[in-house]
């Protein structure tokens, strides 16, 4: 099953790439790599998860927010990289978690995104990663993440 078929079987689809709200682009391709801008857990222009984890947003809700955000990042990467089927490797995932004081389980939140990448892409979805707790994120989002992706040469 190719990645698009896997998404469909999971009841998911790549969202429309969000229009930037500043002087940046959602993703840039340089050679055989694509780097995405930070992606929030947005769907149809609505922020789905806001607040600090775990005081305002549960760990499970944070994991789901990471899943939504990584779908947005995949859509951004695919939009400039030749489509989802052109991805040959997820190289790096950086996850920023809007963390309450004392929260140190950022990797658990990042697992929501990491696990989904592997579910969709198999071994090429395995990646290096950083999961970082931060004091604030744009729009008070609970999670923001970005990807570095290797794609086939055009």
Domain residue ranges of the chain, discontinuous segments joined by +: 3-10+29-151
pTM of the predicted model, to two decimals?
0.97
* Confidence class for position 114, pLDDT limits 50, 70, 90: very high
What distance in Å separates the CA atoms of residue 154 and residue 61, rounded to the nearest whole number?
A: 38
Tokens in use for 66? Answer: 């990471």
Q: What is the mean pLDDT of the chain?
A: 96
pLDDT higher than threshold 70 for residue 125: yes
What distance in Å separates the CA atoms of residue 37 and residue 95, rounded to the nearest whole number?
A: 12
CATH no. of 3-10+29-151: 3.30.1330.40
What local confidence, expressed as pLDDT, does residue 153 receive?
Answer: 84
């Amino acid at each position: 099953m190719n990645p698009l078929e896997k998404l469909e079987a999971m009841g998911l689809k790549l969202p429309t790439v969000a229009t930037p709200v500043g002087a940046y682009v959602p993703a840039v391709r340089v050679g055989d790599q694509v780097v995405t801008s930070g992606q929030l857990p947005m769907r149809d222009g609505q922020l789905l998860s806001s607040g600090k984890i775990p005081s305002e947003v549960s760990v499970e809700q944070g994991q789901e927010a990471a899943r939504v955000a990584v779908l947005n990042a995949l859509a951004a990467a695919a939009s400039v990289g030749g489509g989802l089927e052109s991805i040959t490797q997820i190289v790096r995932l950086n996850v920023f978690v809007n963390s309450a004081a004392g929260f140190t389980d950022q990797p658990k939140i990042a697992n929501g995104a990491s696990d989904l990448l592997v579910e969709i892409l198999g071994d090429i979805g395995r990646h290096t990663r950083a999961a970082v707790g931060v004091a604030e994120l744009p729009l008070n989002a609970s999670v923001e993440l970005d990807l570095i992706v290797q794609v086939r040469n055009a």
